[in-house]
A and B are shown apart, each in its own frame.
Chain A
Amino acid sequence: MKHQLTVAVKNQSVAVERFLRVARHRGFRLMQLQLEGQDELFHVKMTVDSDKPIYLLTSQLNKLVDVHSVDLHTLQQQAI
C-alpha cells in the first residue's frame, strides 16, 4: 500500500540519509521524494510503498533525534 508522508528533519544531509535508511531497512520502498529547505528544517515529502502497516515506519521515524515531526497523509490510514 502506498503512503504519503511529510517528515520535518534537521536541515543536514545526514538527517535525511538517516531517515531514508530507516525507511529502506524497515521495508518501505521509496516511490517519490521532494525536499524543501526552510529555516532550520528540511520538509521532506515522500511516498513509500509497503505491505507493512505504516505505523511500523512512523514509530521508527518518530524516534530519530533529528526528526521533528512526521505527518501522514495516507490515502488509507491504518490504525495500530
Chain B
Amino acid sequence: MSKTMTGAQMVIDILVKQGVTDVFGYPGGAIMPIYDALYGAPLKHYLTRHEQGAGFAAVGYARSTGKLGVCFATSGPGATNLVTSLADAMMDSVPLLAITGQVPTAAIGSDAFQEVDVLGMSLSCTKHSFMVERVEDLAEVLQQAMHLATSGRPGPVLVDIPKDIQQGQVPYTPWLADAQECDSTSMQELKAANTLLKNAKRPIAYVGGGVQSADAQDELMAFLARTQMPAVSTLKALGSVLPEYEYELGMLGMHGTKAANLAVQECDLLVCIGARFDDRVTGNLAKFAAKAQVLHLDIDAAEVGKRKPAAASLIADLKMSLPQLEGSLTTEEWREHVSQMKRDYAWRYDYPGEKVFAPYLLNKLSRDMPKQTVVCCDVGQHQMWVAQHMKFDHPSNHLSSGGAGTMGFGLPAAIGAQIARPQDTVITVSGDGSIMMNIQELATIRRNNLPVKIVILDNQRLGMVRQWQELFFAGRYSETNLSDNPDFVQLAAVFGIPGQTITHASEVDEAIDNLVSSEGPYILHACIDDKENVWPLVPPGAANDEMITENTQ
C-alpha cells in the first residue's frame, strides 16, 4: 500500500479518529492547507470573529463537557490573539488543543509576513507545546499533544505547524489509539492522611477545580456523606458539592461567604481536594487557616507545599484517592457550630431600594432556570454575584474564568458550551465592561442560530475596579466610567437577537420569565445601581476573618 496524504489531511484525520467532532477557529494564510483539508470533512468547524473568541469557545466546550476543546488559528496575529485563551486554560487546567499555522520552515527566522515565534511565545501559557519540524513527526506529535492536554492535570497544548509541513506528503499509516496510562502513584501517605482525619476535631473539606477534572463528584459526595464534614468551595469548584448537602458553606475567599471563611479560620484540619491555595482564596496566607494542619489531595505534586505546607499529601487521581480516605464522623459540636454560622450569615434578598438588585435577580434566575443550565460569566462584580447567589449541581454548569480572571470570557465560552450541549439552556451573565471585550461574537451566535441567553448587569462602570477605587483609592474614579456604552438591546437587535431593558426591581421577575422561556437567543439588559458593591470583601493583605461587609464598612 502506498497511499499518501498531506500533513493537513492528516491533522483532520487524526482529530476525527480521536473523536473530535467540533473545532473553533479562524483561517488565514499560513493555515490555509488545514482549512482546505477541513472542507467537506466530517468535522464541524465554527468560525468565530476573533481568534480569542475561538479559544474561549473551545474552553467553554471543554469545561461544559470534560472533553478536549480544539481551536485553530493562523500564524502571527492569529496565534497572538489565541494567547489569552491559552493562559486562561492554563490557569484553570482546561484540556485544550490549539493548532496554529506557521510560515514555511524555510522562512522561519526571517521576520516573514505574519511570522511570530509562536513556540517561544507559548512557553509561559501552555502545559506543553510543539513545533512540527518534519511531516513524518506530525502524527506522533498530535497524538502526544491530545494525550498531554487531557491526562494528568489537564491543560492547553499548542501545536505549531509550518505551512510546508501541512502541504508535505506523508505515507498513510493506520493511526494507533492511545494506550491508557494507569495511575501508578504511590499511596504511601494514606496512613498518615487517615491518622490526620481520625484525630481532627474541626475538619473542613476545601474543594477545588480538581474534582471536575477528575470527574470525581460522586467520590467527593460519598466522602462527605460518610464524614459529614463541612465543605467550602473555590470559584472553580462551585457545583461540585451538591447544594442540598447540609454542611455546604459555599465559596471561600475574597468574596466568599462569611460562614465559609470563618469556618476555615477555625478549622484544625483542612482537607484540600484538588485546590491550590490561590491568593484570592487565602487572603493573608500566614493567617489563613492558621490553626489547621493540611491534608492535600492533588494529581499535581508541584501544588503540594507550593503555598502552604502539608502535613500529609496524596498525589493521585482524586477518583482513586478520595474513596481511600477513612474519615470518621465529624463531631456534632463542630457540625452544629458551622450550621449555626450558615443560618446566621445566610444571604438576604429583601433589598429596600426600587432599583434592580443584582443578587436578587441572579438568585431568581438560579431558581427559575431549567435543571442542567450552563451559566457562563465574565469577570468582575457580576461574576462574584453569580458565584454567591446562584446554585449549581455540577461544576460543568458554572463556567467562570478563575485563575486568569479574563474579561471577555463569558460570551464565547457560552457559544462553546451551547454547541457542546445543544439540548441544555446556556446563559451568559456579563457586565457592561466585560461584554464589550468579545462583543463581536454576537455574529457567531447569529451565524449558528444559537439560543444563548445573555444577561448584562449594567452599572455603567467598570464595577469591580470602581469598587476598589471607592474603598482603597480614596474615590478617585480613574477611567472606570462606561456610561457612553452603546444601547445593548439595540446592539443585539442588529445581530437578530431580541431582548429588553429593565431598570426597576418590579420588572425583574417578568424579565427572568421572558429570558428563560425564549426559544432562541435573548438579551436581558438590567440597569443596576452604579454604587452597588460586592460584599463581603476581604481587603488586600487582611485575613479572611477580617472581611468587611455592607454594614461594617
Residues in A lying within 8 Å of B, measured CB to CB:
14, 17-18, 21, 25, 55-56, 59-60, 62-66, 80
In the complex, how many angstroms separate the beta carbon of B378 from the nearest chain A beta carbon? 27
Minimum CB distance partner of B148 in chain A: A65
What CA separation (Å) do A68 and B292 show in the bound complex?
Answer: 36
Which of B120, B300, B301, B305 makes the CB contact (< 8 A) with A17?
A: B120
In the complex, how many angstroms separate the beta carbon of A61 from the nearest chain B beta carbon? 9
Minimum CB distance partner of B126 in chain A: A18
Q: Which of B113-135 contact A (CB under 8 A)?
A: 119-120, 123-124, 127-128, 131
Cβ B302 vs Cβ A60 within 8 A: yes
In the complex, how many angstroms separate the beta carbon of A10 from the nearest chain B beta carbon? 11
Cβ A62 vs Cβ B123 within 8 A: no
Q: Which of B286-320 contact A (CB under 8 A)?
A: 300-302, 304-306, 309
Inter-chain residue pair count (beta carbon < 8 A): 32
Cβ A65 vs Cβ B119 within 8 A: no
Cβ B301 vs Cβ A25 within 8 A: no
Pairs across A and B, CB under 8 Å, 30 listed = A14-B119, A14-B120, A14-B123, A14-B131, A17-B120, A17-B123, A18-B123, A21-B123, A21-B124, A25-B124, A56-B305, A56-B306, A59-B301, A59-B302, A59-B304, A59-B305, A59-B306, A60-B302, A62-B301, A62-B302, A63-B300, A63-B301, A63-B302, A64-B128, A65-B127, A65-B128, A65-B148, A66-B128, A80-B305, A80-B309
CB neighbours (8 Å) of B301 from chain A are 59, 62-63
- Does more than half of chain A's interface fall in helix, strand or loop, or is it mixed? helix
Ordered nearest first, which 9 A-B pairs have the shortest CB separation? A59-B302, A65-B128, A60-B302, A21-B123, A18-B123, A80-B305, A59-B301, A63-B302, A14-B119
What CA separation (Å) do A17 and B119 show in the bound complex?
Answer: 10
In the complex, how many angstroms separate the beta carbon of A39 from the nearest chain B beta carbon? 19
CB neighbours (8 Å) of A60 from chain B are 302
What CA separation (Å) do A47 and B38 show in the bound complex?
Answer: 49
Minimum CB distance partner of A57 in chain B: B302
Given contacts A14-B119, A14-B131, A65-B148, contact A55 B305 (CB under 8 A): yes
What CA separation (Å) do A12 and B411 show in the bound complex?
Answer: 39
In the complex, how many angstroms separate the beta carbon of A11 from the nearest chain B beta carbon? 13
In the complex, how many angstroms separate the beta carbon of A23 from the nearest chain B beta carbon? 12
CB neighbours (8 Å) of B302 from chain A are 59-60, 62-63
CB neighbours (8 Å) of A59 from chain B are 301-302, 304-306
CB neighbours (8 Å) of B148 from chain A are 65
What CA separation (Å) do A60 and B148 show in the bound complex?
Answer: 16
What CA separation (Å) do A25 and B302 show in the bound complex?
Answer: 14
What CA separation (Å) do A21 and B124 show in the bound complex?
Answer: 8
In the complex, how many angstroms separate the beta carbon of A7 from the nearest chain B beta carbon? 15
Minimum CB distance partner of B152 in chain A: A63
In the complex, how many angstroms separate the beta carbon of B279 from the nearest chain A beta carbon? 15
CB neighbours (8 Å) of A17 from chain B are 120, 123
What CA separation (Å) do A80 and B308 show in the bound complex?
Answer: 11
Minimum CB distance partner of B157 in chain A: A65
CB neighbours (8 Å) of B309 from chain A are 80
What CA separation (Å) do A63 and B153 show in the bound complex?
Answer: 10
What CA separation (Å) do A65 and B158 show in the bound complex?
Answer: 13
Known pairs A14-B123, A21-B124; list 14 more (Cβ under 8 Å).
A14-B119, A14-B120, A14-B131, A25-B124, A59-B301, A59-B302, A59-B305, A59-B306, A60-B302, A62-B301, A62-B302, A63-B300, A65-B127, A80-B304
Contact with A along B84-124 (1 / 0, CB 8 A): 00000000000000000000000000000000000110011
